[in-house]
Every structure is written in C-alpha cells, then in structure tokens.
Amino acid sequence: MTTIRAIRGMNDILPDETDRWQYLERTVAEVLASYGYGEIRMPIVEQTALFRRSIGEVTDIVEKEMYSFDDRNGESLTLRPEGTAGCVRAAIQNSLLGTVQRLWYSGPMFRYERPQKGRQRQFHQIGAEVFGVPTPDIDAELILMTARLWRALGIDEHVELQLNSIGSSADRQAFRAALVSYLSEHQADLDEDSQRRLLTNPLRILDSKHPGTRALLQQAPVLTDYLDGESKADFARVCELLDAASVSYVVNPSLVRGLDYYNKTVFEWVTDRLGAQGTVCAGGRYDGLVQQLGGKPVPGIGFAMGKERLVLLLEALEALPAALPAADVYVVNSGGRAEIAAFAALESLRSALPGLRIVQHTGGGSFRSQLKKADKSGARWALIWGDDEVAAATVTVKPLREQGEAQATLPLADVAAFLLRSRTPDTTTEGS
C-alpha cells in the first residue's frame, strides 16, 4: 500500500514549531492592536475572477500559479494566492468603506510554485489593509507599525527597509513606454529572461540580476523622473515622517511590486539571512483597486508579511523565547485504586491551579519507567500515587529539577498550596 503524503509544498507544522508560530502571531497581534487595527477573517476560496481582476492578467500569479478549480455548479473558484483582493471584496460587500478602516488578517495563501527555502505552495501571511486614507500619513503609520514589530521581535538589526514610489498608473505607462523604447534598442545585449520580460513585464527588468543587463540599466530612463507632482510630494512626506521617527530606509528606484494594483508608495523589508527569498514583508498603496472591484473610489494601502520567513529569521537569529517544557507536573500512579484517586485529585488540582500544566501518566508501567517519563517530560515535579498514599489520603511530591530538594508526602488538601508556594518566579522571556 502506498502511503499518502501531504501535497508538495504544503507542510505540517508540528508542536515543536507551533510554539514559535504562536509567539510570532501573538506579538504581531499585540502590535496591530496597539495601532487600533481590527481583525477580519475572509474565506480562503474566492471566485477566480476576483484575482484575475485585481492582481492582473499578465502576472505570474494569475498566469501560472493559481490553484483554480470548478465548483460543482461550474463556477471557477481559486484558493487565494494573496489576501488583499479578498479583503477589498469583503470591505465592499459588507459596506465598510463609508469610514476609514484599519484591518488585519492572518492565514494561509496558495501559489503553485517550486518550493524552496522560504517558499512553499501553502504559505501563511499576516496582512494589514487601510481603506479611506488618501494622505501619506497612513503610509508612514503602516511602515512605523512594521518597524515597531521588528523591534518587538528583536530582529530590527537584520531587516532593511527599501522604499520607492511608482507613481500613478499614468506615470508608469509613460515610464514603461520610455523604458521599452530604450531597452529595445539594446535588445541584443539583454539576457534571455529580460528579453522575454520586455514583452510581458518590462518594469521587472529593473531588478534583473544579470551583470550585462544591469550595466545597460545604468543609462536607462529612471522612474522617478516620470512621477507626477502629487506622487513626488507624497513620497517626500513619507520620507520626512520616517526620518522624524528615526526609521531608516533605502530608496530603491528599481523597487517594483509584482502585482498590478500598486501605485505611489511601495516598500519591502528584506534580510540577507534567508538565502534567495529575503523579502519578509512587503506592501504599498493601491488607490484604484476598490473602484476596480466595483466599489467607490476609496484609496487603499496595505502590506503582508510571510510567517514562514519570519519564523525562519527568528530561528536564524536565535531571537525566540526559551521553549517551555512539556509539563510542570507529571503524575505517576500504581494503577487500580491509586489511578482512581489520582484522577479525582488532579481534577481538583487543575481547578485550583488553572495555569499549571499537569500530565498524567497513561499506559501503566513500573514506577521506575513512569519516573523516566516524568524526567523526560521536563516537569519540575512528579506527583506519586501508590497504595500507601491512597491508604493515607496523601500524595508524594518529588522534585525533579532542583538539586538537594527532598521529596515530601503531603495530605491531598495541601498539594495545591505546596505547588503554588514552590513555583519559581516565571523566568521565561518574551523575546529580547
């Protein structure tokens, strides 16, 4: 019989790792809450048309990376490849756009790509979107919020903010025409990929890695020269606000986001610690998108961060809090009446000390083997119920960690107080 495996690029996240994920999610949620953002939860599946219309027909995502399938009624559905489109759809559908909305979401996204470090077919993002603010103050707020998050996670020394303005749609049309015209004259000197992109997505040639192409780009038209007055002024204001907040950044004129709906401010947080997939968070403004999807002309801006990449970065930088042992208390019993007594006593103990993690040994075995398990569990104490304890209505508390502490046999009624008293001050750290 062939064993069934998970789909390529779709990974299980095991208990060892979920600690780290929860730490990340908790920290992000706290920062988002501190800026007044509210959580929104959208479906994972949407009509295919939503993504075609928002992300752009000629993007790689739409052309070859979407998980699309027909519903039973013949309608084409798609597993969401990103979160913004669904969020915009939800905001329109639920009439949220009459006032400013600060939203965030978290969950899985799906793109059919070859897996590699920091990239899988089911990956997970936390994103934030703001609707209804046309001014660049909100651009700065979003960026400041992410900067705060990196500090909270202790990774701010290892991420760099790259910033650019890609202007209005009209600005980009004009620039694109100039760029294509220039590059077409030197087509023979372009690398193969870039020659192809000349037809499909010329702006992407700007961040080509080929030396020959890079040399050509030295003399190429610069996007910044094509920006209209408002784009320039807004970008300057974003920079000014970041400067005032002491958030450093690098203006990268060749930073172009891959999705069609972006305009004006775009930004990426990148690290050099994750190999080829170094972008850990990215976003930008998308002022035309709401209208494009059938809503009123409400401006929007947002970002998304990749949870896998952030967890990898936290691991690489050893910026994670110390792992907790699996249990605080491990309970050993000799079976029979001792097991009955232990069950009853533990239920009371859990009620009395809700934060205490109590693992009861199951499956029998000698005291010796049970205590081995107790030791391996990392528990601070073993509680022991044997025939003697049952007869006397007591329990034996055996310290497993501190040297020199003696075990004691206590009346059942005193156990909770004893454990509470000897519990050490919580030394677990939240990050750095």
Partner RNA sequence: GUGGCCGUAGCUCACCUGGUAGAGCACCGGAUUGUGACUCCGGAGGUAGCGGGUUCAAGACCCGUCGGCCACCCCA
Cβ proximity to RNA, 40 vs 383, nearer residue: 383
CA angle 404, 408, 413 (to 5 degrees): 140
155-214 positions binding RNA, by CB under 7 A: 193, 197, 201, 204, 208-210
Establish if 26 lies at the interface with RNA (CB under 7 A): no
Residue 106 Cβ, how far from RNA at the closest point, in Å? 13
Nearest Cα residue to 117 out of 336, 377, 315:
315
- Looking at 28, 42, 103, 280, which residue binds RNA (CB under 7 A)? 280
CA 235 – CA 139 distance, rounded (Å): 9
Question: What tokens does 386 get?
Answer: 């044997």
Pick the piece of the chain touching RNA (CB under 7 A) from 43-51, 72-80, 128-136, 398-406. Answer: 398-406
**What is the number of other CB atoms lying within 10 angstroms of the CB of residue 207?**
13
Q: CB neighbours of 104 closer than 8 A, spacing ≥ 6?
A: 32, 37, 38, 39, 40, 126, 127, 128, 129
Neighbour-count burial of 65, counting CB atoms closer than 10 A to its CB (0-12 exposed, 13-18 middle, 19+ buried): middle
Residue 50 Cβ, how far from RNA at the closest point, in Å? 16
Residue 239 Cβ, how far from RNA at the closest point, in Å? 21
DSSP codes, 366-388: -HHHHHHHHHHHT-SEEEEE-HH
Residue 179 Cβ, how far from RNA at the closest point, in Å? 14
Pick the piece of the chain touching RNA (CB under 7 A) from 12-20, 156-164, 339-347, 387-395. Answer: 387-395
- Looking at 258, 288, 325, 431, which residue binds RNA (CB under 7 A)? 258
How many residues sit in the footprint of RNA (CB under 7 A)? 69
CA angle 170, 64, 266 (to 5 degrees): 35
Residue 73 Cβ, how far from RNA at the closest point, in Å? 28
Residue 185 Cβ, how far from RNA at the closest point, in Å? 21
Establish if 243 lies at the interface with RNA (CB under 7 A): no
| Ordered strands of the 381-385 beta sheet | 358-360, 329-333, 381-385, 394-399, 408-411
Nearest Cα residue to 48 out of 71, 28, 27:
71
CA 167 – CA 257 distance, rounded (Å): 12
- Looking at 61, 91, 320, 345, which residue binds RNA (CB under 7 A)? 61
Cβ proximity to RNA, 123 vs 131, nearer residue: 123
Establish if 275 lies at the interface with RNA (CB under 7 A): yes
CA atoms within 13 A on the CB side of 89: 20
Residue 22 Cβ, how far from RNA at the closest point, in Å? 18
- Looking at 170, 233, 372, 420, which residue binds RNA (CB under 7 A)? 372
Residue span 347-366 as binding mask against RNA, x where in contact by CB under 7 A, dash where not: ------------------xx
Pick the piece of the chain touching RNA (CB under 7 A) from 142-150, 151-159, 252-260, 343-351. Answer: 252-260
Nearest Cα residue to 50 out of 38, 62, 64:
62
Element (H, E) at 341: helix 337-352
Residue 164 Cβ, how far from RNA at the closest point, in Å? 13
Q: CB neighbours of 425 closer than 8 A, spacing ≥ 6?
A: none
The one-letter amino acid at 300: G
Pick the piece of the chain touching RNA (CB under 7 A) from 7-15, 225-233, 235-243, 421-429. Answer: 7-15
Cβ proximity to RNA, 233 vs 340, nearer residue: 340
Alpha helices in 44-128 (DSSP H): 48-55, 60, 84-93
Question: What tokens does 233 get?
Answer: 């002024």
Cβ proximity to RNA, 40 vs 281, nearer residue: 281
E strands in 192-310: 250-251, 263-270, 279-285, 300-306
Pick the piece of the chain touching RNA (CB under 7 A) from 55-63, 139-147, 224-232, 344-352. Answer: 55-63
Pick the piece of the chain touching RNA (CB under 7 A) from 17-25, 224-232, 236-244, 396-404. Answer: 396-404
Q: Which residues bind RNA (CB under 7 A)?
A: 5, 8-9, 11, 59-61, 65, 82, 111, 113-120, 123, 125, 193, 197, 201, 204, 208-210, 257-259, 268, 275-282, 304-306, 308-309, 334, 365-369, 371-376, 382, 384, 386-389, 396, 398-401, 403, 407
